[in-house]
Structures are given as C-alpha cells and as structure tokens.
A and B are shown apart, each in its own frame.
Chain A
Amino acid sequence: MFWVRLKRVIKSGWVNFRRNSVVSYAAILVTTITLTVVTALFVFQAILNAGIAQVQSKVDIAVYFTVNAPEDQILALEGNLQKLPEVASVQYISADQQVLAFRDRHSDDYLTLQALDELGDNPFGGLLQITAKDSSQYDAIAQVLEGNTPIAQDNSQIISRINYSQNKEVIDNLNSLIFDARRVGLVLTLVLSLISVIIMYTTIRLTIYMARDEIGIMRLVGASGSYVRAPFLVQGILYGVFAWLVTNLIFFPLTYLAGVKLTNVLGINLYSYYTSHLFSVSGLVLVIGVLLGMISSLLAVRRYLNV
C-alpha cells in the first residue's frame, strides 16, 4: 500500500503543479531568485578568496645576509624555517643569483653596471624569501627571527637585515582588509539568504493559501492530514528542482562569459571554478532549493489542515 500511496501522491503533486501553471511559474521564479542569490554568494566568496590569495602571495618576509655569511649556515636556517608550522615556503637566493638579477634589472643603466664592476667583489649577500601560510602569521615568523629565540641568537651574526618592519604596516593593513572583507561577505550572505528565504516562504504560503478551501474539502471527504500534505510536499520539491535547473541555465553562460573576459581582472576563471565545483556548489544549491520548497510547503499547509 505504501508504494501505491507514494505513486498517487507523486502523481497528484505533478498534476497540481501542471494545472496550477501560473502559480507554479510564480513559485519557480521566486525560488530561482533565492537560488540565484545563494549561487551568486558562493561565486562572490570564490572571487573574494582568489583576490585575497593573490594579494597574500605578493607579501613575504625577506632576510638579507651579510656578504661573508657562510652558505651552509644560511641553508641550515632555511631548513629550520621550513619546519615552522606558520611557514608556507622559503626560497634561498644566493649572492651570485642576486648580482645576476641586479645586472639584469639594470641592463640599460651603464653607469650603475660600471660602478658594480669597479667594486670588484660581489657586494650582495644571500637572501631568504619567506612566505607564510596566512598573512596574519608574519608577525610570529618575524618574532622567531628577531626575538629572543635560539634561531635568532644563532644567526644574528650573519643576518644583515629583515624587511618585516618595513612591510609590517602593509601586512597589518592587508590583514585588517581581509578580515573586514570576510566579515562583510558573511553578513551579506546571511542577510541576502534570509531575505530570499522569507520571500520564497511567503510566495509558497500564498500558493497554498489559494488552495486552503481544497485542503479543507480533502479533509472533510476523509483524507488524512499526511495524505493531504504530501502532494504539496511534492509540489515544493518540484519548485526547487525546476528553479535549480533555471539557476544553472543562468550561471553556465554567465560564468562562461566571465571566464573568457574577466579571468585576469578577477584572478579566477569562474567557468572553471563553476564546472569543477558543480557537484558541491550546484548540488548544495539543489539541496537548499528542495529543502526550502519542502519546509515552506509543510509549514504553509499545516495551518489549513485543522478542519
């Protein structure tokens, strides 16, 4: 009997969905707006994270060594730094590489190159470029190098200077900007999602309000509450599924265009992101759509079942 009832409920929900086409269009439209907002917020978060990652990658701590600093000691320090949990990467640039890079940068500046030649010896020392896993961790790394730690004490003789103090203001500003951007993103996500959900719930409530007399009649001819409720649940699911399809029809071409035209500006190929995250983003949006449709329908029908 369960399967017979299930078949009847699905059929009834589908028939109601088709016959109340105007109401269904309205509900799908509003649900699509909700899902579009949710998807747009996912994409916005991706753009924000890509932007943050791009800026973060441009920040580092550079440790300059004295000209005579022994290379094996520098390499030992590099090894120790790589073991720190805050450190993402450490790149060693030798004194020879430094002078080559300098020559390359000033290849058109004859006077500078002549001055360098007259010096005879290489005036540059080695250099370690340290990138942190998170920009908020630069302070901790600088403390290891400059503070009262074994690493700092062992290497104080060979370190010429550390550029963290010069970059500190930029890094602090960046950290505060990232924090604000994430907070704004979160608040925006919550507020817009809430508004969309309320609009969707109200619309589905209106569609069921229009069917309140029918709900009463069904109860009076002997239908149980669950048998009356179930087709509306099916309708709610259908609103979610159709709205999800429309949302994908909007986002596939939009992200494709953004991928072609805006990848350099945004720092992320939105089409690649959307297609590679299709199951997580789109799947989650489908689940959200279906759940919202079901819950809105359940809550809205409940009020008219007490006949």
Chain B
Amino acid sequence: MIKFVNVSKAYPNGAVALENVNLEIEKGEFVTVVGPSGAGKTTLNKLIIAEEEPTEGTVLFENQDIDAFNSGQVTRLRRRIGMVFQDFRLLSNKTAYENIAFAMEASGKSDEEIVSDVPHVLQLVDLQDRMFHFPGQLSGGEKQRLAIARAIINQPEVLIADEPTGNLDGKNTMEVIEILKKINDLGTTVILTTHDQQMIKAVGQRIISMERGRVVGDEQKAQVKL
C-alpha cells in the first residue's frame, strides 16, 4: 500500500532526516516505527501525507508517486489518511465538535452524517462532555483523544499516529493504545511512531527501528534495541 524506494530527505539547513530508506507497508498492518528523537520518524510520516517532498527516491501510495501529485490529488490522498500529530494540531478557534465536523465537511460529508457521527466518535474517545469546549480548555490527554477522533472520523484507510502518547500519563497512554488497536482490528492500516517503551511493549505486530535517518531493523514483534 505504501512504499519507500531509496528515499532520502535533507532539509534546506543541511540536516539529513532520512537516508536511503526502503520500506513497504501492507494494507491492514499495524506498524510501529521506533527510534530516538531525530531518527527521522516524523519526516517519514510527513512524506506519506505529502507535507514534505523527498530529496531523492520515491514514496508510493498504491503504486502512485506521491511527489508527482497535484494539489487536488494531495487533498484526496489526505482524506484517505488520518493523521494524529505529536503536537495535536487542533484548530484553536473551533470547539471539539467543530474540529471533528471540519474534517467531515472538508471531505464532503452531509450535515446529517456530521450530526450523527460527531457525537458518536466523541463518545468513543470519552469526550462527550467536552463537546463544546475549545482545545485551550482541554487537558493534554483530552486533546490527544480529540486528535485521534478527528483522524478516524472519515474512516481512513491509513491512520498515522506520530508520538501520540508523548504528553500523556500511563492511564491515558493505555487508553490511546486500546483505541489504536480497535481501529486496526476494523481493517485500518496503522502506522505508529514512538520512542515510548511502554507503548512498544504493548502494541505492534511489526516494529521498524530507525536511527539517524536510516532503517536499522524491521522485525515482527522481536527484541528492539533503543
């Protein structure tokens, strides 16, 4: 489904984020990408949603070169991928309800679907009482759950979660893991990037290890050196 072929990424300041990465992620997989800060995990995610372009190599989504997509194709690609960002990236001027509704409106869902689905997904992430709160009025864990709710509302084919438990305590971390597992059980491909040991132990059938922009390990639930 997603394929990295000899992908390298260097930023304009000269920092090399990825170096000759080759990867293939199949439909329905739960992949955990692990590695220390600066390993290139976030850049990997950004390349999949076309937020960044590779300096060399090709990133393929269903055998199509993402880098060659025009603006409309990028928009359609992003509607098929749900993304949970490390820093949440919620719309601060919109309530929890509106943040999720916006993702549905953007993908052309009807008002009826929005009215029916948004409360349901908020209930799923236990935020039904925070529906009309703005992100600034939510705790870190609530923001993270809201970001997950927004990412899954359009039933994406791929869910990318970038350090989703970075700001959460143990209880909230386990809750997020459970949500991700459930989503994967429903057939969604999940790509989780983390350096959280608790999370690595708890999830992932396949674990890809990265260091300094290179893939140094790709195993099925094996010992991971960090």
Contacts and interface: CB of A to CB of B under 8 A. Distances in A.
A222 B106 contact: yes
> Chain A interface mostly helix, strand, loop or mixed?
helix
Interface residues of A, number: 20
Interface string A9-25: 00000001001100000
A220 B83 contact: yes
Contacts of A214: 91-93
B205 to A, nearest CB: 27
A4 interface: yes
- Most B CB atoms within 10 A — which of A216, A219, A221, A223? A221
B91 A19 contact: no
Contact of B75 (A1, A16, A224): A224
B214 interface: no
A4 B105 CA distance: 10
Contact of A20 (B79, B93, B102): B93
B51 interface: yes
A227 B102 CA distance: 10
Given A4-B111, A20-B93, A224 B106 contact: yes
Contact of A223 (B106, B111, B150): B106
A214 B135 CA distance: 13
A217 B76 CA distance: 15
A76 interface: no
B56 to A, nearest CB: 21
B49 interface: yes
Given A4-B111, A214-B91, A223 B72 contact: no
A19 B106 contact: no
B107 A222 contact: yes
Contacts of A265: none
Given A218-B106, A222-B107, A16 B78 contact: no
Contacts of B83: 220-221
B91 A222 contact: no
Interface in B102-131: 102-103, 105-108, 110-111
A106 interface: no
B93 A222 contact: no
B182 interface: no
A225 interface: yes
A150 B91 CA distance: 84
Contacts of A249: none
A216 B106 CA distance: 13
A8 interface: yes
Given A220-B83, A220-B89, A222-B75, A4 B110 contact: yes
A307 B89 CA distance: 14
Contacts of A8: 105
Contacts of A217: 89-91
B78 A221 contact: yes
B112 to A, nearest CB: 11
Contacts of A220: 49, 51, 78, 83, 85, 89
B154 interface: yes
A220 B154 CA distance: 14
A224 B49 contact: no
B71 interface: yes
Interface of A: 1, 4, 8, 16, 19-20, 213-214, 216-225, 227, 307
11 contacts: A8-B105, A214-B92, A218-B106, A221-B78, A221-B83, A221-B102, A222-B106, A223-B102, A223-B106, A225-B71, A225-B75
What 9 pairs between A and B have smallest CB-CB spacing? A223-B106, A222-B79, A222-B78, A217-B89, A221-B103, A224-B75, A222-B106, A19-B93, A222-B107
